[in-house]
Amino acid sequence: MMNRRERMIEWHRAVGFPVLTHPEVPPLDRVKLRLSWVMEEALELVAACLSLGASQIKELQEFVLATIQDVRRENVRLVEVANALEGLDNAVEGMRLEAGIEGDSIAWAVHRSSLAKTYECMACDREGMIQGKPCVQCGGAGRRSQKDALGRVVKPIGWKAPDVRACLLQQGWVEDLRGVEPDNEYSITGTLGELDVPEQVADSLRVVTDYVQSGGSQGSRREASWEGVEGEGTPAPSGIVMEIAERLPFNQGVAVESIWQSEHAKGNAVPHLRKAVWHLEREILRRLAKTGTRR
């Protein structure tokens, strides 16, 4: 079984992050990126202990990010960096011990969830080689991923966050639900902000969520505002259309809903049809990657 470092090496290679074999100050952009990630996690820890929301620590996050921009590679002292990283490791593990948290099962859950952000490279044999040479497309990793402008790996549509709560419950945690508001972390609306999807897709998901949560059933004709088409409302799918869409995998379900909306749109129907095509093409690529075929 892989240890934490081996899992991290697997993740780095899957997404094309550097893996150095000897001590060296990383390039400046990587130093800034890693610092921002460390500080982001530290602030999330503080927020978790103070029951603060993301908006409440936004100002502090912005200050930290602005400060990081002043870093210069020639000023990075590697000996002190190594010492500080060891201190961070000890501080984190010590807090786990005092909280009674066994970190390995959570680390595995996070690792599996992280790898789910990647997909098999279709340009090679999924082993990272083409005719005995490393694949240029995936860098020899056999997997690929999408990254944003900051170098972060983009969460694909349908990606699910690791179920840390389940890990803690398996470790014997007894959750105190008194006075706790319902957690929407795993609901559709709670994760919309984390999904890398076109705005029209997000709007459509909100329509579906509102429709389902309203108790809509077969034959219902509830009107829902959808502002994705020239600023004019579009009715939510009828109950029978929703039932069909819900029985299909995500991409096909959204495509069915979008086709229905294209016929009932009060404005331009083309964006709905383009959205349907976008999801169908993504589903085709997903299945081709899964089977290792190209057609």
Does any domain span residue 244?
Answer: yes
What's the pLDDT score for residue 180? Answer: 44
Query: Could you give the number of structural domains in the chain?
Result: 1
The whole domain housing 278 covers 197-291
Does any domain span residue 42?
Answer: no
Instruction: Tell me how far CA of residue 264 lies from CA of 135, 189, 199, 225, in angstroms.
Output: 47, 24, 20, 13
Three-class DSSP category at 24? coil
Q: Which positions ≥6 away from 25 have C-beta within 8 Å? A: 31, 73, 76, 78
Does any domain span residue 254?
Answer: yes
Query: Which pair of tokens denotes residue 162?
Result: 């690791």
Does any domain span residue 142?
Answer: no
Does any domain span residue 155?
Answer: no
What per-residue string of b and e applies to 239-257 under the rule 16 or more CB within 10 Å gives b? bebbebbeeeeebbbbbbb
pTM attached to this predicted model? 0.55
Residue 226 near residue 265, CB atoms below 8 Å: no
Does any domain span residue 15?
Answer: no
Q: What is the phi/psi pair of residue 155, to 5°?
A: -80, 120
pLDDT, tens digit only, all 295 positions of the chain: 789 999 999 889 888 899 999 999 999 999 999 999 999 899 989 888 988 877 778 888 888 888 898 999 999 999 999 999 999 999 999 999 999 999 999 999 999 999 888 887 777 766 677 777 777 777 777 777 888 877 888 888 888 889 998 899 889 888 765 544 444 333 333 333 333 444 444 455 555 445 444 544 433 333 333 334 333 445 555 566 667 777 778 888 888 888 888 877 777 778 888 888 888 887 787 777 776 655 5
Does any domain span residue 88?
Answer: no
With 0-12 / 13-18 / 19 or more C-beta atoms within 10 angstroms meaning exposed / middle / buried, residue 143 is: buried
Does any domain span residue 267?
Answer: yes
CA atoms of 205 and 113, how far apart (whole Å) = 22
R_g over Cα of the chain: 23
